[in-house]
Structure 1
Amino acid sequence: MSAPAPAAQDYVQVRIGLLQVGIASLHVRQALPLPAGVLPMPGATGALAGVFSHLGQVIPLIDLRGWLNMPADAPCAYVLLLAAEGRLAGLAVDAICSVRKIHPDHIEQVCHDDEPDRFFRHVARHAGGDELLNLLEPQRLMLRAQAWSRTAGMQTGLDARPRDAQAGGSVPLALFELAGRVLALPATLVAEVLPCPPLDTAFGWNGQLAGVARWRGRQVYVLNGAVLDGAVPAPSAPPPLLAVLERDGLCLGLRVDKTLAVRDTDSSLILHGSDGPCAHALVAATITAASGPPQLVLDDAALLALCPQASQATGDQAPAHDERSGDAYIICDAGEELALPMSAIVTILPLPADMQAPASDGMAAPGGSCTWQGRTLPLFALGPQGAPTARIVVIEHAARHVGLLVRNLITLVPAYAATKSRFRQFGGPPLTMITLDSAERASSYRLLEAAEVAAAGHAP
């Protein structure tokens, strides 16, 4: 039996000056904005720029520009917290560019001596092309700079939650910035902050979840942060960082613009429930800041309630995989793009002259009807009232027929050409997504649930 072929690995691509550098993601613990309190080391030489405090531990900061003959007239904007062989160090970088999958066949060692200053010994050809990337070996860099701290002292915060804050004392909170707002979370809930990887599956921007990403070999469902504002506009660009939240085997990703701090917060400053100035199902409390808008303390239980079973790992078991669908589907635009099982579709009709349109409030709305095969066919719509429609999809459910008003038919999905995944939307029933097979795995559609059809089918 032959050995399995090696798989592609994730590398974080960063920029230091004009140099593009790749670092294996397993060595990247966190991505941080440059800390304000970097302390220069008196008498320091070489690449050791100073030290800073992070989560209660002193971290040395390595700035490679001096060794690379690059100007260092301004501080780098970001720090990557690197971990290797029980050691921690911060690496100053100008930009965090992307996360790339690089196959071992596309990595070549070009420097073969074993001198300690050789922390760049390999190059990678992205996707086998001509574009080259220097690969950094963090453990060799730390040894060459003689700068590191031990991971054994790394603190991840105390086991406290905002809901416990009423007992008095202080609560350790991690603070993030997203779209100009400051979000606070229990420090123990934050497993890792890393450059945001691309979504394996995207759900679009009109729901609670934005899609699915991979983290440490697991599926992580990523929250659509725009829902915190009520409206859900499509952003011009996704936030650059991903905060992975983990507790009791459940994971949820939160994309953020910046990591701000981890600090103990006096519980007397935390306003819970209706006492706070922001009412939202995902906000447990608020903290009134000395200046600027209030900080939003997110409800950790409500966040984790969004996690589907696919994001839960038990022991050494592999994460749950999506189910290959044996059904065929029609994808249609019904105010949102939906997947309708072919087995439930009786026929597709043009709009009849006697149609009485239903009034819709954005949910499945009964009330409209038309004549079909000599009988009254109840109609329902999912889009806003007055939205243009062009066709009626007649659906059979529980021996009853209903018509769904749609704008357009998008595509046909053959059997076994898509996967099905389920997740629980906060405040609602579980939802099922249909994901088409593609190189990006980015074409996903919500499956019309039987409950919606049943509600329309029982209209008077």
Structure 2
Amino acid sequence: MSGDKLLQLAQACIGAVWVGVPADSVVQAIPFPSAPALLPRRQGALAGVVEHAGRLVPVIDLARWVYVGTPPQEAGRPATAHVLILHAAGRTIGLKVDRVGALAEVAADDVTCLHHDDHEEEVFQCAVRLSGNDSDSDSDRILSLLDVDRLAHLSAAWHQDVAPAAPSAMPEKPPSALRSYAVLQAGAARVALAADVLSEVLPLPPLDVLGAGSAYCIWRGRHLPVLTHAALGLEPAVDGTAPKLLAVVERAGLALGLPVHAALSLQSFDTTGLAQPDGLLSALFDPDGTPLRLLDEACLFARFPEAELSRDGGAEQRNRSDAARASRQVANSAAYIVFEGDGMYAAPIETVERIVSLREVATDGDGAMAWEGRPIRLRDLRAGAGDAAGGDVMVVRSGDAHVGYVVSRVHLLVPPGSGRIYRMGGAGAGWEFIATGDNAAQASYRIVDLGALAA
């Protein structure tokens, strides 16, 4: 699905109907008041009026227009109605819902148009099926997609951003600097992360550990550094469960991964002037009084420079000056061989004396092969079980000895000066990668010293 255009949807339940609302139209979810203010009308679907950010917002109850069924009774889940504050085309309205679900991400190609009459008095034309988008057992469901513009038009009730001036009107309070945030469960904490920098939430892929608690994975063809909860100052889950999802944060062409347990909801907050004691996380509360940790994305990328490893080679990189790029990467002075083991790696060619097919070497069945009239040790770097006889052997010199490394395939040679070396981390504990190509054709490989590995 990574090649498709992605849509972010806020989920909500109205009666027995699960609704998907475009995330960029959702401002916030607030509790539905027990005694909402009323604006009497002879017709329509107005359920009352609520105040939000100093504005009076009409609330629409779709159940007064169409049959939505009865919400199922769910053990342990209190029936608390909410109002989704929606904004589109300069108009703000509220939608009464029985339950607010998690944020979902779907491919645009997966959306199916079911009603083809384009009837001007209907607010649902399309639907999409979710399947395993998060760790919630309810993630396998069908969402009816809400047309927010048409909802406001049909209800003829909304708060206009710029209303006509009236001599007797009281001056309106300026709008708050609201921003949409995705709320994620990360260990014992609920973390609020700006929705416009959250690129994707996906099942946690296999990680390559690089020492000192650091790890990375391959995401959309790029090396993605993955941060631990401890590195962010977050406590582990109370029940000790490990995260099963990965939240990918992108900013200015760079990306970082954060393991999370669940994607919970989409909410909006005015965080202007919010203090951040450690420069990275600050405390705030959602409308229900639940404490959240606000994660500042600018501080996040400033604190973890290994994000440079993920650079996508797009416009941001092309606009960087040569001097700025040189401070982070240097041309390779030696040649490297790129090979496939349990991942893609690069090794200095100077330590590799010969590359031969595994089918052509004589082995004794005890982890050794014949080399220049004597046995040398074999080490298998391939991932899992495959063709036992398939692959190549890279004979590497280690001091006065030799070791044969069995790999799935030797892919290419990177001549001197044709790649760029990325150095990440501190002295003695850093990682090195070599990048080849440019822009969309760029690829990068972790550098391993096979000679030192054999020692």
TM-score by length of 2: 0.51
Indicate whether 1:310 and 2:332 are aligned. Answer: no
CA shift, 1:310, in A, is 0.8
Q: CA deviation at 1:456?
A: 3.6
Matched with 1:43 is 38
Q: Structure 1 residue 135: deviation in Å? A: 3.0
Deviation at 1:453, TM superposition (A): 2.5
1:28 maps to 24
Asked whether 1:452 is paired with 2:454, we answer no
SS of corresponding position for 1:135: strand
Distance (whole Å) between structure 2 residues aligned to residue 414 and residue 354 of structure 1? 24
Name the CA shift for 1:455/1:63 in 2 (closer, same or farther; >3 Å).
farther
Q: Is the 8 A contact 2:50 2:56 kept in 1?
A: yes
Structure 1 residues 37 and 75 mapped into 2: Cα distance closer, same or farther (>3 Å)?
Answer: closer
Is the 1:13–1:97 contact (alpha carbons within 8 Å) kept by the matching residues of 2? yes
Where 1:314 maps in the other structure, the secondary structure is helix
CA contact under 8 A between 1:354 and 1:371: conserved in structure 2? no
Q: CA RMSD in A?
A: 6.4
The amino acid across from 2:37 in the alignment is P
How big is the shift at 1:137? 1.0
Deviation of the 1:85 alpha carbon: 2.2
Among candidates 11, 14, 31, match of residue 11 of structure 2: 14
- Structure 1 unaligned segments of length 5 or more: list them: 1-6, 158-172, 273-282, 318-326, 356-369, 383-389, 416-420, 435-444
User: What secondary structure, in the 3-state scheme, does the structure 1 residue paired with 2:149 have?
Assistant: helix
Task: Name the structure 1 match of 2:80.
Answer: 75
C-alpha contact (below 8 Å) 1:107/1:125 kept by paired residues: no
2:372 maps to amino acid = Q
- SS of residue in 2 equivalent to 1:99: strand
Question: CA–CA distance in 1 between the matches of 2:153 and 2:49?
Answer: 16
TM-score, normalized by length of structure 1?
0.50
Asked if 1:147 corresponds to 2:146, the answer is no
**1:45-74 deviation digits (Å, cap 9, x = unpaired):** 7355654657x8887665534544445793
Say which is worse superposed, 395-404 or 81-90, in terms of deviation.
Answer: 395-404
Q: Residues 288, 62 of structure 1: CA spacing in aligned structure 2 closer, same or farther, 3 A cutoff? A: closer
- The 8 Å contact of residues 376 and 402 in structure 2, kept in 1 or not, is answered as yes
Q: Is the CA contact (8 Å cut-off) linking 1:251 and 1:312 kept in structure 2?
A: no
Q: Write out per-residue CA displacement over residues 173-224 of structure 1, whole angstroms, 9 at most, x where no aligned residue.
A: 9986422125577xxxx3537795547x94547564455479xxxx996845
Please give the secondary structure, in 2, of the residue aligned with 1:306. helix
CA deviations 1:9-46 (Å, max 9, x no partner) are 636373524324344x5x535686x4459696410573
CA distance in 2, matches of 1:74, 1:174: 23
Residue 187 of structure 2 contacts residue 243 of structure 2 at CA under 8 Å; is this kept in 1?
no
Q: How does 1:307-456 map to 2 (within 5 A)?
A: 307=308, 308-310=310-312, 313-314=315-316, 331-332=340-341, 337-339=342-344, 345-346=355-356, 372-373=371-372, 394-395=393-394, 403=403, 428-431=430-433, 447-449=445-447, 451-453=448-450, 455-456=452-453
| SS in structure 2 of the partner of residue 28 of structure 1 | helix
Q: Secondary structure at the match of 1:111?
A: coil
CA contact (8 A) 1:57 1:155 kept: no
Distance across 2 between alignment mates of 1:211 and 1:144: 47
Matching residue of 1:178: 186
Pick closer, same or farther for the CA change 1:297–1:28 going to 2, 3 Å. closer
Q: Any conservation in 2 of the 1:111–1:122 contact (CA below 8 Å)?
A: no
**SS class of match (1:192):** helix
- Distance in 2 (CA, whole Å) between partners of 1:77 and 1:404 is 64
Which one-letter code corresponds to 2:150 in the other structure? Answer: R
How far, CA to CA, are the matches of 1:191 and 1:97 in structure 2?
Answer: 10
Could you report, residue by residue, the CA deviation over 1:280-335 in whole angstroms, capped at 9, with x for unpaired residues? xxx8578799xx99969774212464152217643999xxxxxxxxx998754xxx
Question: What is residue 113 of structure 1 aligned with on the other side?
Answer: 119
The amino acid that maps onto 2:16 is: L
Structure 1 pair 395–266 and aligned structure 2 pair: CA distance change class (3 A): same
- What is the CA distance between 1:95 and its match in structure 2? 2.6
Alignment correspondent of 1:137:
147
Structure 2, unaligned runs of 5 or more? 72-77, 132-140, 163-173, 320-335, 382-387, 413-419, 437-442
For the residues of structure 2 that align with 1:89 and 1:286, how far apart are their CA atoms?
A: 30
C-alpha change, 1:183 and 1:132, in structure 2 (3 Å) is closer
Give the Å deviation of 1:144: 2.9
SS in 2 for 1:10: strand
TM-aligned CA distance change 1:213 to 1:376, over 3 Å? closer
How many Å separate the matches in 2 of 1:432 and 1:340? 9
Whichever residue aligns with residue 314 of structure 1, its letter is E
Letter in 1 for 2:7: D
CA contact (8 A) 2:398 2:452 kept: no
C-alpha contact 1:39 1:52 (8 A) present in aligned 2: no
Alignment of 1:252-291 (within 5 A): 252=256, 254=258, 257-258=263-264, 263=271, 270=277, 272=278
- CA shift for structure 1 position 88: 4.6
Contact 1:14 1:95 in 2 (8 A): yes
Task: Count how many residue pairs are aligned between Structure 1 and Structure 2.
Answer: 351
Does structure 2 retain, via aligned residues, the 8 Å contact 1:119–1:136? yes
SS at match of 2:80: coil
- Work out whether residues 118 and 125 of structure 2, in 8 Å CA contact, stay in contact via their aligned partners in 1: yes
Map of 1:99 onto structure 2: 105
User: Residue in 2 aligned with 1:238?
Assistant: 245
Contact 1:62–1:89 (CA<8 Å) still a contact in 2?
A: yes
- 1:412-448 deviation digits (Å, cap 9, x = unpaired): 6989xxxxx99986664354799xxxxxxxxxx9955
Structure-2 change in CA distance of 1:94 and 1:341 (3 Å): same
**Any conservation in 1 of the 2:226–2:256 contact (CA below 8 Å)?**
yes
Determine the C-alpha separation between the residues in 1 that align with 2:66 and 2:397. 71
**Is 2:250–2:256's contact at 8 Å kept on the other side of the alignment?**
yes
- The AA in structure 2 aligned to 1:84 is A
For residues 267-290 of structure 1, the C-alpha deviation after alignment (integer angstroms, 9 at most, x for no partner) is: 5x82x5xxxxxxxxxx8578799x
Q: What's the % identity of the aligned pairs?
A: 16
